[in-house]
Amino acid sequence: MSLESVMVTGIVLFIIGASGFLLRGNAIVLLLCIEVMLNAVNLILVGFARYLYGTEGQVFVFIIMTVSAAEAAVGLAIVVALVRLFGTADMTRINLLKG
């Protein structure tokens, strides 16, 4: 297990999460993809923390987790409000602007 392999794994996971974010339309799934991306970033950070001295890498990961939890909460609240308003969670069909 080398740093490069950890990084490669992280990058691949991030790309998967990003593509999923761009390709899917369901609001919940979008949030899930965000979580995937964040996890990928955490993985890379922990990898760096492992290979360099110090505690800062893990502290940073901790904070990221906190933020991610907060964001998931608010995001889900928004999804609930959206579904209540539009009756669907499909983001591609929700458009009030005249474009």
CB of 41 to other proteins, least distance (A): 11
Per CB under 8 A, contacts with other proteins among 76-95 are: 76-81, 83-84, 87-95
Per CB under 8 A, contacts with other proteins among 40-69 are: 42-43, 46-47, 49-56, 58-59, 61-63, 65-69
CB of 14 to other proteins, least distance (A): 9
Residues with Cβ within 8 Å of residue 60, at least 6 apart in sequence? 45
CB of 83 to other proteins, least distance (A): 5
